[in-house]
Copies of this chain bind each other. A is one copy, B any other.
Amino acid sequence: MARWAPDAAGRLQTAALELYAERGFEQTTVADIAARAGVTARTYFRHFIDKREVLFSGQSELQAFLAEWIETQVGPDDPMTRVIAGLEAAAAHFPDKTELSVKRSAIIASNAELRERELQKLASLAAVIAEALGRSGIDPAAARIVGEVGMMVFKLGYERWIGGDHTSFAATIRSTFDDLRTAMRGEGQAAARQSAGFA
């Protein structure tokens, strides 16, 4: 028999999610989490850099998938189209929406520090998209913008998906992007100004 129970990281994640849900993030100490997972606080910090990070694994898989997808596409489509298609593909591979994922979102929403970490992860997603586009030969400034837009669509789409109805994540991404395009298009005054020679 092994000296330690396997998958300490997994047990820590489960313990943390449970405790954060039960008592709230601030009322939970890292020592509590470690105890429930059957390890010491020191071991916790070997697996996760800080108290927040337990809730944000998975992010790196998404980033890797997207970067790979963006760089291996060969079509003549423009960067924005390519990134949104990549997000839809990634969304199709997402695990189903479970009670736990909803709970996780609620925990994050309830605490400022956790919301900050989530934003940092999203910023990192934007950077990954921009870098992948850059490696595909897209101009860096344009890549930066498209990375930000892609990230925003993912953020709003995820939010809608978790909070909402029963549509698939991929479909939610698509409709979010459509709504964004509509908002950007502008009507009346805006259209007039634009056709008057804006860019």
Contact = CB atoms under 8 A, between A and B. Distances in A.
A24 interface: no
Contacts of A188: 76-78
Interface residue tally on A, bucketed by range = 35 or more
B145 A179 contact: yes
Interface string A115-157: 1110110010000000000000000011011101100100110
A186 interface: yes
A190 B77 CA distance: 6
A124 to B, nearest CB: 10
Interface residues of chain A: helix, strand, loop or mixed (majority): helix
A5 to B, nearest CB: 32
A75 B178 CA distance: 26
23 contacts: A77-B189, A77-B190, A78-B186, A78-B187, A80-B183, A112-B120, A115-B123, A116-B116, A116-B117, A116-B119, A119-B119, A141-B179, A142-B183, A145-B183, A146-B183, A148-B152, A149-B184, A179-B199, A181-B184, A181-B194, A181-B198, A182-B199, A184-B184
